[in-house]
Structure 1
Amino acid sequence: MMIMPRTVQDILDHADELAKRFEDYEPSRAEERDPQVFTELRQAILARADAERSIKEAVSRGRKDGYSWSFIGSLIGTSGEAARQRYGHKQDA
């Protein structure tokens, strides 16, 4: 359990101790992370967001052209009701 510093000097000493721990820190092999994984995951998340935006736009166009929720749901891989709940707007209900 850490005891909170009480005087200004205690606070400064504690800050110095933390700074030294930070400066002296060397990660072990087990703590190292491959930055490529972060990059790939971030790119995949951005691609997923773009794909979701494209799906929403296509569903909207499909509904304007008269396609049923059942048909749209079958293309998405879900029921028409699930597609309507996810992509529908009040005017499409």
Structure 2
Amino acid sequence: MINMPRTVEEILAHADELVARFESYEPDPANEINIDSVHALRDAVVEQSNAERHLLEAIKRARDSGMTWASIGTFVGTSGEAVRQRYGRRVA
């Protein structure tokens, strides 16, 4: 079983690792079921990494402007406490 990252730092480090793997990966048509699928996965991992960074910056800006964790949680689709636990140390 693979341990999934839980903290923002772990998520970003994991995303960076996956991006590096996918960016340096060159599919071999003889060994791949569908090269387009590999490219789609690579693109999705890059998008996910960028989205997580974008979300972190947006949360930081929201907190800097005085927005409560509860309000941020509403926009993110979770509770304020969950957002605070996940991002609080990164935006403080």
Distance 1:37 1:82 in 2: 33
- What is the root-mean-square deviation of aligned Cα atoms in Å? 2.0
The equivalent residue for 1:70 is 70
> How far apart are the structure 2 equivalents of 1:75 and 1:37?
32
Point out which structure has higher relative CO (alpha carbons under 8 A, 6+ apart): 2
How far off is 1:91 after superposition?
A: 7.6
Alpha carbons 2:69, 2:81 under 8 Å: kept:
yes
The aligned length equals 63
Corresponding position of 2:20: none
* Identity value in percent: 41
Computing the radius of gyration over CA atoms, which structure comes out larger, 1 or 2? Answer: 1
| Partner residue in 1 for 2:49 | 49
Displacement of 1:90 in angstroms is 7.6
- Which contiguous aligned blocks of 4+ residues in structure 1 show a shift greater than 6 angstroms? none
> Where do 5+ consecutive residues of structure 1 fail to align?
1-26
Task: Give TM-score scaled by structure 2 length.
Answer: 0.62
Alpha carbons of structure 1 residues 80 and 38: separation in structure 2 relative to 1, 3 Å:
same
SS at match of 1:67: coil
Structure 2 residue aligned with 1:60 = 60
2: CA distance between counterparts of 1:74 and 1:88? 16
Letter in 2 for 1:51: A
